[in-house]
Amino acid sequence: MTTDWDAATYDRIADPQARWGEAVLDRLPLRGDERVLDAGCGSGRVTELLLARLPAGHAIALDGSPTMLEAARRRLASFGDRVTFIVADLLEPLPIDRPVDAVLSTATFHWIRDHDALFRHLAAVLRTGGWLVAQCGGAGNVASVLAAAAEVGGPWSSAAEGPWLFASAEETADRLARAGFVDVRTWLQSEPTPFEAGEPLETYLATIVLREHLARMPDSDRDAYVRGVAAKLPRPEIDYVRLNIVARRGRALDCGTPSGS
Ligand SMILES: C[S@@+](CC[C@H](N)C(=O)[O-])C[C@H]1O[C@@H](n2cnc3c(N)ncnc32)[C@H](O)[C@@H]1O
């Protein structure tokens, strides 16, 4: 697991993740009565959108961060027993007692370096024929921020070194097939995202993109570091690249084909 999150700030500023999450959710075919795992639910903004599409169903909001899960509990309180909360590490076998109908995951997989283990654990809790629909950072993600961070100094000199994995579409498709997924589609999508310069950009960088960098330096150095990185960006924009995943567990059984590619 990576270091813990500032869940309150994340919940307030994660508009790009919520926007992308809604588009990812559009690819998940749902009748409305399924049990769906949100793997890495964070503060629950995308889980909330999922629950709105499950009027007779159930969501399992799973995250490794107790702080994030607490924020999700508050946000999703009105859904009552239509949502279950689980603190668990996606790198370990998951404490889910019977198979779910689908797995949704947004903005999470790149924080996990061992994707073979991750996909194995997800496959183990997904019913045969169930969809895995996900999006995370992919090859080239936030490259200009990481380059600026390396220039300013800090723990890592290249994107390959940090506690994240920005995988390619091809290697991800191979890993999914090895973990027992079929009908696999993976693709990269460029999402350059502009921010208001100054405090909004710096808070966003500190809370999300640079949080692992900051966790490895004294408190007193952090503000100057974030300002230094922001100042080195060519423009107040983060060069996001998203990796999309659509796959089924085992042999294709039912449901339609998800849209978008
Ligand atoms: C950027 S947040 C995304 C939250 C939400 N899905 C969204 O789109 O807003 C990434 C989440 O992944 C969780 N996470 C990272 N590594 C994890 C792991 N190994 N096991 C469980 N959760 C993990 C973090 O705790 C965090 O809540």
CA of 11 relative to ligand 1 center, distance in Å: 12
Which pLDDT score is estimated for 154? 82
Which pLDDT score is estimated for 1? 54
Q: What is the pLDDT of residues 9-20, one digit of tens each?
A: 999 999 999 999
CA of 151 relative to ligand 1 center, distance in Å: 27
* Sheet containing 35-39: order of strands: 83-87, 58-63, 35-39, 100-106, 126-137, 237-249, 181-194
Which amino acid type is present at position 80? Answer: G
Which pLDDT score is estimated for 190? 98
Binding site membership of 41 for ligand 1 (Cβ less than 6 Å): yes
| Pick from 164, 158, 141, 144: nearest CA to 215 | 164
Binding site membership of 1 for ligand 1 (Cβ less than 6 Å): yes
* H helices present in 76-216, as ranges: 115-125, 143-152, 169-178, 199-204, 211-215
Binding site membership of 65 for ligand 1 (Cβ less than 6 Å): yes
CA of 48 relative to ligand 1 center, distance in Å: 15
Binding site membership of 13 for ligand 1 (Cβ less than 6 Å): no
Which pLDDT score is estimated for 253? 42
Instruction: Classify domain 7-140+162-194+239-249 by CATH number.
Output: 3.40.50.150
Ligand 1, atom 4: closest residue by C-alpha: 42
Binding site membership of 108 for ligand 1 (Cβ less than 6 Å): yes
Domain coordinates of the chain in residue numbers?
A: 7-140+162-194+239-249
Instruction: Calculate the CA 196 to chain-centre distance.
Output: 23
Binding site membership of 164 for ligand 1 (Cβ less than 6 Å): no
Which stretches of the chain drop beneath a pLDDT of 70? 1-3, 251-261
DSSP letter for each residue of 51-96: HHT-TT-EEEEEES-HHHHHHHHHHTGGGGGGEEEEE--TTS----
Q: What is the pLDDT of residues 200-254, one digit of tens each?
A: 999 999 999 999 999 999 999 999 999 999 999 999 999 999 999 999 999 644 4
| b/e sequence 24-39, b meaning 16+ C-beta within 10 Å | bbebbebeeebbbbbb
What's this model's pTM, rounded to 2 decimal places? 0.94
Ligand 1, atom 26: closest residue by C-alpha: 42
**DSSP-based helix, strand, coil % in the chain, nearest 5:** 40, 25, 35
CA of 232 relative to ligand 1 center, distance in Å: 28
